[in-house]
Structure 1
Amino acid sequence: MVSKSHLLLQHVILAPAEEWTVPPAPWVVLRLDKGMGYWISPSARLELAQGDMMLISDRAQGILRTSQLGEAALFFYTVNPYFLGGFFTLAERHAMQVAQSRIQGLPLHFPARHSLAVDLGRVCETASEMSPLVQRCRLLYLFAIALQPQLTTSTIPTANGQSEKRFKELMASLSEPELLRFTPLELAGQCGCSPRHFARLFQSHFGCSVREKFTELRLYKARELLLLSESTVAGVAVATGFRDPAKFNNVFKKYFGQTPRRWREQQRKLEGTPHD
C-alpha cells in the first residue's frame, strides 16, 4: 500500500460525512479538490476548504471527515524517504526525522490561496499531461518546499573547530550510499580528527553511534530491496553488507519485529502482489 502511492498522485471521491484514513507512510500530502472537510484528531480540529493543502506526518493521529452537505474529492500522495535511497544525505534524513517528531497532532496546513497549495493544484490539473518522471519530480519538490521551514532548525550546529566544520560539510555532502562506502576510520581521516573524536561528533549530532546508524541505513535499504525486488533474502543480505544471512535475519527481526521473509510476505499481501 505504501509503495503504490509513493510519489504517485491519486484521486479519491468521498461521500457526505465519510471518513478517510490517512495511508500508512512517513509523510502524506493531500489537497481537497472539491467540497469541505475536517481534520479531526485527539488534540485538534481543523476545517478544510476546497483547494486547501496539508502535509501530514505519520506521528499525527487523525482522520479526514467530509462535510455532511455534499460529497468531496481529494488528491493525495505519500513520500517515503527510505524509498529514495541515494537522494538524501544523512544530515537531511536526520533533519526530517526531527521534523517528524516535532510535527505531531495538527498537520501543516496551507490555505487554498497559499502559493504551495496553488502549485499543487496546477500539478493536479495537468498531471495527465506530464510524464511519470516529471510528475514525481514536481511532487517531491512540493513536499520539500512545504517541509523546508521545519528543517532549518534541525541542521548540524554551527561548528566551532576545524574538525567540526569538516564534519558538518561531510555529513551535508555525502549521500547515504556514498557514506556507507567509507569506514569510520576513513571518515575520521576526512574530518582531520581521531576516530574517537569523530565518534563523539557523530553521537552528539545523531544521538547514536556510527555503527548503529550505519546498521539502520543498511536495514532500510534491505527493506526497500525486499519490497521492490525479487532477490532472495540471502541475496538482499549480501547486497546490503551482511555477510551472514542468519545474522541479517536476527538484526532485521530485532529492528522491525519480524523476519525479512515474514515482513516481505506481509507487505506484498497488503500490496496485492504475488510473492514466493
Structure 2
Amino acid sequence: MIAWLRIVAIVFILAVVTLCLLPVQLLGLKFDWRLRRTLPRFWHRVACRLLGLHVRTHGNLEARRPLMIAANHASWKDILVLGSVADVVYVAKAEVANWPVFGVLAKLQKTIFVEREQKRKAGDQVNEIASRLGGGEIVVLFPEGTTSDGNRLLDVKSSLFGAASAAVASSPEGVVYVQPVSIAYTGIYGMPMGRYYRPIAAWPGDIELTPHLMGVLKAEALEVDVDFGEAVEFRADTNRKVAGASVVSRLRTMLNQRLYPRSG
C-alpha cells in the first residue's frame, strides 16, 4: 500500500511541476529563448529526485564548442540522467515523437527526430544536427541505435558520427568535439547492482514499458554513475572511421571500468 501511495505522489508532483513549467517552455520554444535550453535541466533534476535516481558525475563536460556527446543507451532513464547534469538536446528515432507522454516531453526539449530507414532524408537530418551544433547546442547521440541490457556497449556504426563531420564547416575554428560519456547503473538500495538487478534499470526494446516503469517507481533508490571522457576532435581532414572508433573505444573502456571495477 505504501508503495502505491508513493507512486501516486510521484506522478502527481511531477504532473504539477510539468504543468507549471509548460507555458514558459512553450514560449521559450516559440521565441527561441535561451531559457528553453536550460529549463529542461531543472525538470530532469526534479524527475530524478522523485524517481530515486541518485546521479554521481565523474570528470567534466567539455567546455569547448561545437560539442556532441556520444553516450551508451540502456534505458529511457538515460534521458533524465544526462538531462539533469547538462543542457542538452537529443537525437531520437522518429517514432518516439508519437509515444504517449514521452513523445510530448521530447518535443518540448526540441529533440531532433530522425528516420533511419529514409535514406533520402539522411542529408537533411545530418544538416539539422550540424545546424544545432553550430548554434551552440550540445547534441546527444546514442550511437548504439537502440537500448541495451545495461551490461555492455553494443556495436556502433561510425556512420552515425557523420553529423559531427558535417558540422565542421560551420565551426569558427574548424573543429567539432565529440565527447564520450558513459552512463552506468551501479547500485540499488545502497548495494552494488549486479547483472541480476540491472534489468530494473535497463529497458531493452522487448520489455513492455508499463511493467518496467512500475518496477522503477517501486525500486526507490537507483545509483547512476556518469563519466565524462576526453573529447575527440573532428576536423575537415579527420578520418571519420578512425575518430569514431576512438570515441567508441573510450566510451567502452569507461563503461566497463564502472560496471566491472574489479576486472579493470
| TM-based fold match above 0.5 | no
Give the number of the structure whose alpha-carbon radius of gyration is greater. 1
Q: Structure 2 length as normaliser, TM-score?
A: 0.27
Q: Structure 1 length as normaliser, TM-score?
A: 0.26
